[in-house]
Amino acid sequence: MTLESIEFVVEARKEFLALPRPLQRQLRELSPYLLTNPYRSYPWLQVRELRELPGVWRFRLGLYRVFYRVEASTLVMAAITLRPPAYTSRMREEVRRRLSASERGRSRP
């Protein structure tokens, strides 16, 4: 499965721009792997599906956790948050809310 593009929900775009430059660069470098197969893990990229939100996937980026979903041929980034808060039910609900509203506001990197 090869995807065509990566898009961000509005909040995730802001979170991406707030990341330190090295992490922004690292996420850009991971993009080809995510577009080639968004469900595959590598030694340097551990991808997991959320049990609480089927169809939503996550991976670690330094001290951050990145949440995304595949919609048609697009990978939609929903949230980029620090890891300790990423594990709360509040953050999971926020990811769910963002993805349900994602059709209204997306942007490309």
The stretch 40-44 carries a mean pLDDT of 93
Is 6:35 a contact under the CB 8 Å cutoff? Answer: yes
Tell me the pTM.
Answer: 0.89
What would the pLDDT profile of 17-39 be if each residue is shown by its tens digit?
A: 999 999 999 999 999 999 999 99
The stretch 6-18 carries a mean pLDDT of 95
Token pair in block for residue 76: 């939609």
Share of the chain above pLDDT 70, in %: 93
Output the domain CATH number for residue 46.
3.30.2310.20
Residue 108 has pLDDT above 90, yes or no: no
Q: What is the pLDDT of residue 107?
A: 53
Q: What is the pLDDT of residue 86?
A: 86
Backbone dihedral angles phi then psi of residue 57, each to the nearest 5 degrees: -115, 160
Count: domains in the chain: 1
55: left (phi over 0), alpha (psi -120 to 50) or beta: left
Mean pLDDT over all residues of the chain? Answer: 91
C-alpha–C-alpha distance, residues 35 and 6, integer Å = 8
Token pair in block for residue 43: 């030694």
85 or 30, which is more confident: 30
14 or 105, which is more confident: 14
Which range of residues forms the domain containing residue 51? 5-107
Q: What is the pLDDT of residue 2?
A: 87
